Amino acid sequence: MSHAAEPQSSQSLPIADPTPIGLICLAIGCAALVPIAFGAGLTPSGLKTAAMFCLLFGACGQLVAGLGSLLNKNVYGGTLFTSFAFNWVVNWWALDSLSRGLVPDATVVFAVDVCFLVVFLAFTYGFGFFSSLLMAFLVDIDLLYAARIARHLGGGEWLGVVVGVCTIALAAISLWIAFALLINPVAGRAVFAFPGPVFRPKR
């Protein structure tokens, strides 16, 4: 996703920029989780349906984007998408397990959530050097994981609503960035605004 601030032509890269693929697939995966985040779709059928979207779009789509980004020497996008792809495999497993009555261990999930939050906080700072929109994308993920951690520590079930709102926001920001990368070059103008960096590197 580091190429997103200044898209390059397909001729200058080994393959076309896969960032829009990863972002659109991320949005679809988030959409599948929204009903569950708000307490709907908790039947075995609903959980299995959401699990399949998590596997195909969340995991497979972002793995394609991650590997493609690494091929294009985009270490930021490659690292974020690839690590996120494996996390979506876990989402698939967790939802599929819940549909069969097996609840994932909360202590292990909590420890991993803390690790993810540390990783995403570092990414948030890094993406600030590319675009404020990319930074907002990561801030939303930070808030989502902070709410998950706070809920585990006894912060109250209302935090589930925060997770749901952050999930919707993540889908919306993902689609906006993807449309900016796809539509703006075709239109020759900024149909979808893509603001510049928040920070400037020291020269």
So what's the pLDDT on residue 4? 44
pTM, full prediction: 0.90
CB neighbours of residue 129 within 10 Å = 16
Cβ(66)–Cβ(78) under 8 Å?
Answer: yes
The DSSP string of the chain is -GGGGS---GGGSSS---HHHHHHHHHHHHHHHHHHHTT-S-SHHHHHHHHHHIIIIIIIIHHHHHHHHHHTT-HHHHHHHHHHHHHHHHHHHHHHHHHTTPPPPHHHHHHHHHHHHHHHHHHHHHHTTT-HHHHHHHHHHHHHHHHHHHHHTT--TTHHHHHHHHHHHHHHHHHHHHHHHHHHHHHTS-SS-----SS----
Mean pLDDT of all residues in 24-37: 96
Q: Which two tokens stand for residue 146?
A: 């902070």
Instruction: Tell me the average pLDDT across 40-69.
Output: 95
Q: What is the pLDDT of residues 72-84, one digit of tens each?
A: 999 999 999 999 9
The pLDDT of 61-77, averaged and rounded, is 95
Round to whole Å and give the CA distance between 59 and 94: 13
Q: What is the pLDDT of residue 6?
A: 41
Residue 50 above 90 pLDDT? Answer: yes
> How far apart are alpha carbons 112 and 156 in whole angstroms?
20
Write down the pLDDT at residue 158: 87
The answer to whether residue 107 scores a pLDDT higher than 90 is yes
**pLDDT at residue 120 is higher than 50:** yes
Residue 48, pLDDT above cutoff 50: yes
Region of 39 please: left (phi>0), alpha (psi -120 to 50) or beta. Answer: left
In this prediction, residues 109-116 reach a mean pLDDT of: 96
